[in-house]
Amino acid sequence: AQTVTQSQPEMSVQEAETVTLSCTYDTSENNYYLFWYKQPPSRQMILVIRQEAYKQQNATENRFSVNFQKAAKSFSLKISDSQLGDTAMYFCAFRPPMEYGNKLVFGAGTILRVKS
Amino acid sequence: DTGVSQDPRHKITKRGQNVTFRCDPISEHNRLYWYRQTLGQGPEFLTYFQNEAQLEKSRLLSDRFSAERPKGSFSTLEIQRTEQGDSAMYLCASSLGPPLGGPSDTQYFGPGTRLTVL
């Protein structure tokens, strides 16, 4: 079974600085999909960034980028120029190839606090 | 595009009562998912529909849980004889599915229904 591990329960960062959230996963599949979702306090979960495992290039979305290390099964999220609105719970999620189902497997999450 | 909506947002019930939640997906999305999230944890998959067909169910979905998507649009999740352990946030998500949705088949989440069983 696939598992996702987020080893940092909580992180803090000063406004305008850079922070990296860690995620590792376990799978025997070669072709899969990885996601980072953000869940602000008392608000709904929104997609931050996604990565297809067959793509070697790391995904970027404005201030958000990933470091995808397929051999190490690592998928970290880098947030540059942190803003107060980035304060949220961040979840790393794994989705296997379509033929093995469509469910997302989530990590336990990392609480990120951006301080002014 | 109004996003995924869920109703009610909060539900408080007494142990042993039945509850039903509703999810309206993004209008063109043919896939719909239910997840359960307990405090401080990541969501756990419950079940998945493609159109009106329920294609996958988790072991977490006991006999007291049932989900439907009768016309391939909105979905309902019913919990019968609720227990205190059912207290959680119930999240609904939808996706477009390939080929239009692309191979990643990204899921978009609703605001959730928070259930408290007393």
Query: Taking CB atoms and an 8 Å cutoff, what residues of chain B touch A106?
Result: 42-44
Query: Taking CB atoms and an 8 Å cutoff, what residues of chain A touch B109?
Result: 37, 44-46
Q: Does residue A50 sit at the B interface (CB-CB below 8 Å)?
A: yes
Mean pLDDT of A68-80: 96
Burial of A10 (0-12, 13-18, 19+ CB in 10 A): exposed
Query: Taking CB atoms and an 8 Å cutoff, what residues of chain B touch A52?
Result: 103-104
Contact A104 B104 (CB under 8 A): no
pLDDT in tens, chain B (118 residues): 579 999 999 999 999 999 999 999 999 899 999 999 998 899 999 999 999 999 888 887 889 999 999 888 999 999 999 999 999 999 999 998 777 667 678 899 999 999 999 9
Enumerate residues 6+ apart whose C-beta is below 8 A from A32.
Answer: A53, A94, A95, A96, A97
Instruction: Calculate how close chain B gets to A63, using CA atoms only, in Å.
Output: 20
Mutate which of B58, B109, B113 to disrupt the A interface (most A C-beta within 10 Å)? B109
Instruction: Calculate how close chain A gets to B20, using CA atoms only, in Å.
Output: 20
